[in-house]
Amino acid sequence: METQDFDIFIDESCHLENDHKSVMGIGYCKVPHVDYEQLKKEIQDILVKHNQYAELKWNKFSTSRLSLYKELVDYFFKSSMEFRAILVKYKDRLNHEDFNQGSHDNFYYKMIYFLLRPNGEDSNKRFRVFIDLKDTRGREKLNKIREVFDNAHKGESPFIYFQHIQSHDNLFLQIADFFIGAVTYKNRVVSKEFEPTKSKLEFINYLEEVSGFCLNEGTVPWEKKFNIFDHQPKKRS
Reduce the DSSP state of residue 8 to 3 states and report it.
strand
User: In this predicted structure, what is the pLDDT of residue 82?
Assistant: 98
CATH number, residue 176: 3.30.420.10
- Best CA proximity match to 141, nearest among 108, 100, 96: 108
Does 67 fall in a domain? yes
Burial tier of 185 (Cβ tally within 10 Å: 0-12, 13-18, 19+): buried
For residue 31, what are the β-bridge partners?
7
The residue segments making up the domain with residue 210 are: 4-231
pLDDT, average across residues 94-113: 62
Amino acid at 201: L
pLDDT in tens, 186-207: 998 988 888 999 999 999 999 9
Quick one: pLDDT at residue 95? 45
| 231 pLDDT tier (thresholds 50, 70, 90) | confident
Please give the Cα distance from 217 to 161 (Å, whole number): 31
Predicted confidence (pLDDT) per residue in 104-161, tens digit = 567 788 888 889 988 877 778 999 999 987 665 667 778 888 888 888 888 888 999 9
Q: Inform me whether the pLDDT recorded for 101 exceeds 80.
A: no
Mean pLDDT of the residues in the chain: 86
Least confident of 19-23, 33-37, 60-64, 124-128: 19-23
Give the single-character DSSP code of 113: H
Residue 237 included in any domain: no
What is the number of domains present in the chain?
1
In a domain, 55, yes or no: yes
pLDDT value of residue 120: 79
In a domain, 131, yes or no: yes
C-alpha 180/C-alpha 28 separation (Å) is: 8
Q: What is the pLDDT of residue 102?
A: 47
pLDDT for 112 equals 87
Q: Does the structure show a pLDDT above 80 at 20?
A: no
**CA–CA distance, 137 with 19 (Å, rounded to integer):** 19
Contact 228, 88 (CB under 8 A): no
